[in-house]
Structures are given as structure tokens and as C-alpha cells.
């Protein structure tokens, strides 16, 4: 067997069988079934370890089911020194999977809120985004879940979430439209009610008014 380099994770044990310990046999078998369905032979050398790799990759893609993303917002700070302007985290990269085709959704999220009296560490907005992204999703729900979590936990004056993403189920199959991105947004509180506040946050996010 050729000893060429593969794009395997570096920290994986070497032999396939050890690595697959703990993965239910029916999961491995399901991947073999899909390989057969695609038209290939799961027993051929190059595909022999693939079911285990796919199973471990799934654990990572769908890590979000193992957490409550809202819990990242539990620890808040009330000492904000009278800060009453928009807090924004722009260009949060994420990868999700569409629930219709289990195909990748790759994009970035812009998450903003206008604090009332509580703020969170800024990285928490990225963690909330990742927590919901690492599930089977539709982009509209992903957008809403992030916004609702911030709205409920921080009770801010406003929340604005905008997501731009490309859907592999559109670019790699069906209508075959690479390069097309979908934009979704959810505005709550002042960003919903007040046009000027909404324009301000969209401008900060990099969108022209």
C-alpha cells in the first residue's frame, strides 16, 4: 500500500479499526450503503476507511446537537461604563448543512445588538453562531435562532443578524448556480422599529443603505 499523504486528521490513531471503535456498526454500514448507492465499491482500498472518517466528520459537523448554544450567553457583564452603542461582530465564518440535502452551507454571519445594561464577551456571539450552525439547518431558521437567543438572554434594546451564505445544494446540484449567495436577516427591537437604527447597523455591517 502506497504511503502517500492523506488529508486525515493528524491526531487520529493509525489503524482504521481502532479509530472506528465507538462508532455504531450501523453508522459505518449506512455510509457503505451510500457509497454503493453512489455507484462505487466500499470494499476497494481507497474507500475502506471512508465510513469511519465520514462518521467522525459528522460528529464535528453536527457538534451543535451536543450543546445548548444559549448557554454561551449565561455569563454577562453589567459594568459597561455607560456604553450604549451598537456591539457588532462582523464576518463570523461558519459552516452548516442544509436539512434538505445535508449539503454544506458556507457563509458568514454579522451579529449585532444594542445593549440595555448587559453585554457578553464578544467571542460568545461567534460561539452562539457556531452552535446553531453545526446542525441540520435552513438559513432562515439559523438566522432567527441566533437572534432569538441574544434577544432572550441579554434583553437588549435591539438585535440584528444578517447571514450571507452559499448553498452547495444549489451550486453543486439542481440548478447549478455557483457563486450565488443567499442573504437573510432578522431585526428585533429598535432595529426593527426604527429605520435610522436599522440603517446604521446595516452600514456598520458593510451594507450600503
| Active site amino acids | 98-101, 139, 167, 169
Q: What is the 3-state secondary structure (H, E, C) of 28-88?
A: HHHHHHHHHHHCCCCCCHHHCCHHHHHHHHHHHHCHHHHCCHHHHHCCCECCCCCCCCCEE
* Cβ atoms < 10 Å from Cβ of 129: 28
Would you tell me the crossing angle of helices 50-61 and 25-38 to the nearest 10 degrees?
110
Nearest distance, CB of residue 102 and Zn ion, angstroms: 8
Q: Is 125 exposed, middle or buried (0-12, 13-18, 19+ CB in 10 A)?
A: buried
Nearest distance, CB of residue 80 and Zn ion, angstroms: 41
What span, in angstroms and rounded, lies between the C-alpha atoms of 170 and 178? 7
Nearest distance, CB of residue 103 and Zn ion, angstroms: 5
> Does 100 sit near Zn ion (CB under 5 A)?
yes
Chain positions 40 to 79 lying near Zn ion, rule: CB under 5 A, are none
Nearest distance, CB of residue 169 and Zn ion, angstroms: 3
Q: Which helix (H) or strand (E) holds 108?
A: strand 104-114
Which of the ranges 46-54, 70-78, 99-107, 152-160 carries the binding residues for Zn ion, by CB under 5 A?
Answer: 99-107
> Does 154 sit near Zn ion (CB under 5 A)?
no
Largest Cα separation within the chain, whole Å, is: 66
> Does 101 sit near Zn ion (CB under 5 A)?
yes
**Smaller CB distance to Zn ion: residue 59 or 100?**
100
Residue 89 DSSP one-character state: E
Name the residue number minimizing CB distance to Zn ion. Answer: 169
Binding residues for Zn ion, rule CB under 5 A, total 4
For 3-9, the CB contacts below 8 A with 24+ separation are 8/53, 9/56
What span, in angstroms and rounded, lies between the C-alpha atoms of 156 and 150? 8
**Smaller CB distance to Zn ion: residue 62 or 207?**
62
Chain positions 162 to 181 lying near Zn ion, rule: CB under 5 A, are 169
Nearest distance, CB of residue 41 and Zn ion, angstroms: 28
**Smaller CB distance to Zn ion: residue 112 or 137?**
137
Q: Which member of 55, 73, 86, 98 binds Zn ion (CB under 5 A)?
A: 98
State the residues that interact with Zn ion by CB under 5 A. Answer: 98, 100-101, 169
Amino acid at each position: 500500500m502506497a504511503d502517500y499523504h492523506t488529508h486525515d486528521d493528524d491526531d487520529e490513531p493509525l489503524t482504521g479499526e481502532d479509530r472506528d471503535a465507538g462508532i455504531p456498526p450501523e453508522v459505518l454500514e449506512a455510509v457503505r450503503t451510500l457509497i454503493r448507492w453512489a455507484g462505487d465499491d466500499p470494499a476497494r482500498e481507497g474507500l475502506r476507511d471512508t465510513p469511519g472518517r465520514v462518521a467522525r466528520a459528522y460528529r464535528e459537523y453536527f457538534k451543535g446537537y451536543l450543546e445548548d448554544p444559549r448557554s454561551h450567553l449565561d455569563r454577562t457583564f453589567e459594568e459597561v461604563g455607560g456604553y450604549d452603542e451598537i456591539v457588532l461582530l462582523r464576518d463570523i465564518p461558519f459552516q452548516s448543512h442544509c436539512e434538505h440535502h445535508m449539503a454544506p452551507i458556507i457563509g458568514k454571519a454579522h451579529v449585532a445588538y444594542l445593549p440595555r445594561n448587559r453585554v457578553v464577551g464578544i467571542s460568545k456571539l461567534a460561539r452562539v453562531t457556531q452552535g446553531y450552525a453545526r446542525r441540520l439547518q435552513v438559513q432562515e431558521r439559523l438566522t432567527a435562532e441566533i437572534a432569538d437567543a441574544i434577544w432572550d438572554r441579554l434583553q437588549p434594546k435591539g438585535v440584528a443578524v444578517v447571514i450571507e451564505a452559499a448553498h452547495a445544494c444549489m451550486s453543486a446540484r439542481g440548478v447549478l448556480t455557483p457563486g450565488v449567495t443567499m442573504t437573510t436577516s432578522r431585526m428585533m427591537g429598535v432595529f426593527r422599529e426604527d429605520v435610522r437604527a436599522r440603517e446604521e447597523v446595516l452600514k456598520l455591517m458593510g451594507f450600503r443603505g
